């Protein structure tokens, strides 16, 4: 029997994490960078880089005090990585080990910088308390978000903006969606327990959602490869029941019914990759929808197809820009449309800590323009009486309520259906009135926005 492969040395993980941080500073997605990272260091590099990016505002301020003249980018990235991991409460390594391995990483990256990295990190340990106190008046260092982001949250959510910034610093839970065709949520929870994995229901609003007490590799989940469960945040699990009619609007008129979508209903998922919501629609509909999944990125569409196949579901997958309907639409109107529109991802910063450093203030109006174009292009494709669910994983009102308010001004044949819970702006806060109080006082769900629009029949 061959011996198990040993874990990579810490200096390799630190070096890889520093490269990841530098990639984000250069404007590249952390997800894309990690996909190209050597497999043996990828999990460690991801964990360490997530920690650094959550602390980047503070550690850059401290580094500027310790070394006012910035070192070369690769050295600086390693330095801020070391500083972030030496932050109080952040590291699982001893301070001596961390400094020693950071110096070793520097020696291999840029031999002449090893002494400099050693000196700066050791000075930080000696003066840590004073250095932390000195940067408390710097808003970027305090909240670890760009100033424009803070100002936008303060404008949109003046009562809870600091809580939203603090929530983004939390490590997110791992939430599963149990496939109802393969068994009940309770029975899958029992299977997890038998496999030594603790989990609890997300709440009564989410009939298929189980939240793991500790994240696990998907390979450890019972029946994952056979399609028994998927990984999907609880907020994202609301899209399918909202569109299919499994959640009842609270604004129904006396005698008005809100039916489920019928078997064979023609449904469009306009921006479908990576396919979690696409698959969930078919799961809940018993695989009986006439489903078309679009996305502009043919490569990401492969994930949609893989998700459908793993879950034994059907659907047509096509690469196209949903706005360019002349290219892909066959002229048959849809009963329902899911528009999970491109957005700032400001509601999922816990899962993607690089987003805050990649976005610019000018991105928000640019994204809002794309969202409006998608709404305008898709609305004519909907049958009278049909429904369109607009969704973004954003907490910015420009991508949520403001977008839909403007759409309603332009379209007198649209009605925004209202729900007591599970729609509108869902903030990633434990006391959000639209969410169940989660266990332990931590936010269970990501930030999302949902608006279900019904197309009124012609007079």
Among 137, 101, 99, 138, CA closest to 120: 99
CB 30 within 8 A of CB 20: yes
Please, what's the b/e burial string for 359-392 (b: 16 or more CB within 10 A of its CB; e: otherwise)?
beeeebeebbeebeebbebbbebbbeebbbbbbb
Q: Which of 37, 271, 343, 393 is catalytic?
A: 393
DSSP 95-156: HHHHHHHHHHHHHHH-GGGHHHHHHHHHHHHHHHHHHHHHTTT-HHHHHSS-HHHHHHHHHH
CB 238 within 8 A of CB 323: no
Helices (H) then strands (E): counts for the chain: 18, 12
Q: What 3-state class would DSSP assign to 26?
A: coil
H or E stretch covering 374: helix 363-378
C-alpha 374/C-alpha 343 separation (Å) is: 12
Among 322, 337, 336, 275, CA closest to 303: 275
DSSP 434-450: TSPPPGGGS--S--EEE
C-alpha 401/C-alpha 415 separation (Å) is: 14
C-alpha 129/C-alpha 86 separation (Å) is: 12
C-alpha 229/C-alpha 276 separation (Å) is: 11
∠ at Cα 367 (362, 373), nearest 5°?
135
HEC string of 355-367 equals: HHHHCCCCHHHHH
Helices (H), 172-274: 185-194, 239-244
DSSP 393-419: S---GGGTHHHHHHHHHH-TTEEEE--
Whether 393 sits among the annotated catalytic residues: the reply is yes
Among 199, 195, 197, CA closest to 211: 199
- Tokens 């816990």 found at: 350
Which residues are part of the catalytic machinery? 393
């Amino acid at each position: 029997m061959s011996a198990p492969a040993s874990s990579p040395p810490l200096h390799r993980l630190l070096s890889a994490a520093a490269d990841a941080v530098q990639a984000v500073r250069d404007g590249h997605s952390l997800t894309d960078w990690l996909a190209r990272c050597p497999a043996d260091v990828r999990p460690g590099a991801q964990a360490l880089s997530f920690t650094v990016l959550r602390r980047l505002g503070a550690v850059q301020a401290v580094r500027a005090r310790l070394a006012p003249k910035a070192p070369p980018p690769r050295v600086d990235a390693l330095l801020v990585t070391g500083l972030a991991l030496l932050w109080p409460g952040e590291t699982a390594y001893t301070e001596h080990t961390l400094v020693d391995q950071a110096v070793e990483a520097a020696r291999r990256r840029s031999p002449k910088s090893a002494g400099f990295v050693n000196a700066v990190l050791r000075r930080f340990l000696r003066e840590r308390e004073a250095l932390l106190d000195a940067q408390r008046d710097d808003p970027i260092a305090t909240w670890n978000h760009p100033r424009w982001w803070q100002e936008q949250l303060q404008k949109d959510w003046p009562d809870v903006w600091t809580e939203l910034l603090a929530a983004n610093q939390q490590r997110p839970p791992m939430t599963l969606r149990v496939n109802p065709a393969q068994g009940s949520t309770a029975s899958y929870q029992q299977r997890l327990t038998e496999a030594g994995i603790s989990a609890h229901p997300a709440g009564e609003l989410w009939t298929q959602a189980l939240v793991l007490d500790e994240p696990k590799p998907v390979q450890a989940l019972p029946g994952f490869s056979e399609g028994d469960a998927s990984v999907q945040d609880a907020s994202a699990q609301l899209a399918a029941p909202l569109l299919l009619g499994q959640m009842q609007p609270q604004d129904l008129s006396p005698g008005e019914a809100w039916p489920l979508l019928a078997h064979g209903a023609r449904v469009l998922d306009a921006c479908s990759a990576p396919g979690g919501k696409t698959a969930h629609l078919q799961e809940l509909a018993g695989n009986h929808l006439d489903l078309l999944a679009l996305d502009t990125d043919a490569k990401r569409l492969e994930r949609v197809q893989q998700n459908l196949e793993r879950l034994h579901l059907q659907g047509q997958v096509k690469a196209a820009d949903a706005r360019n309907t002349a290219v892909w639409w066959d002229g048959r109107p849809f009963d329902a449309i899911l528009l999970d529109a491109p957005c700032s991802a400001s509601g999922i910063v816990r899962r993607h800590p690089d987003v805050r450093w990649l976005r610019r203030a000018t991105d928000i109006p640019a994204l809002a323009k794309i969202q409006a174009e998608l709404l305008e292009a898709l609305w004519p494709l909907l049958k009278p009486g049909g429904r369109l669910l607009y969704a973004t994983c954003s907490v910015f009102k420009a991508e949520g309520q403001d977008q839909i308010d403007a759409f309603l001004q332009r379209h007198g044949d649209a009605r925004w259906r209202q729900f007591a819970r599970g729609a509108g702006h869902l903030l990633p806060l434990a006391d959000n009135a639209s969410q169940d109080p989660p266990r332990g006082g931590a936010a269970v769900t990501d930030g999302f926005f949902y608006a279900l629009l019904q197309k009124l029949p012609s007079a």
